[in-house]
């Protein structure tokens, strides 16, 4: 079973083996408002933790989606091009952005678990 972890930039990652599925949190999509466009990285792109990996645009703002870990993009959610609002409707499911082959499993373990992330958000993050 995949375990979900969170970043301070409001991304989530589920790791299954060495491949992580990445998206933005429910809190992030609420802050953005209605998502109208998603720019995904190319498959094969090498991403670095904290570096820009994708862009999401809403009726309110445009925002970067940062890579939660170092890795290589192995898949992207092409369905978001036609239905970007999926990010709002199902941020932890069908609204995922990319899958990355994670370079360092220990870095995943260092991310926040759900209770820590909820506390982080409650404290005004």
User: pLDDT at position 52, please?
Assistant: 97
> What are the helix (H) ranges across the chain?
26-32, 79-82, 86-89, 105-109, 114-122
Give pLDDT < 50 ranges for the chain: none
Q: Residue 64: its pLDDT value, please?
A: 96
Handedness of CA 112, 79, 101, 41 (dihedral sign): negative
Task: Read off the pTM.
Answer: 0.94
| pLDDT at site 81 | 92
- Answer yes or no: CATH 1.10.3720.10 is held by domain 3-120: no
pLDDT the model gives residue 3: 82
């Amino acid at each position: 079973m995949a375990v979900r972890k969170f970043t301070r930039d409001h991304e989530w990652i589920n790791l299954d083996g060495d491949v992580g599925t990445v998206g933005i949190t429910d809190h992030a999509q609420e802050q953005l408002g209605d998502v109208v466009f998603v720019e995904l990285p190319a498959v094969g792109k090498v991403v670095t933790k904290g570096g820009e990996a994708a862009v999401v645009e809403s009726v309110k703002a445009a925002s970067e989606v940062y890579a939660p870990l170092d890795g290589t993009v192995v898949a992207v959610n092409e369905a978001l091009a036609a239905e970007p609002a999926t990010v709002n409707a199902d941020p932890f499911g069908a609204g995922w952005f990319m899958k990355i082959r994670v370079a360092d499993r220990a870095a995943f373990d260092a991310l926040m678990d759900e209770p820590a992330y909820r506390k982080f958000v409650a404290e005004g993050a």
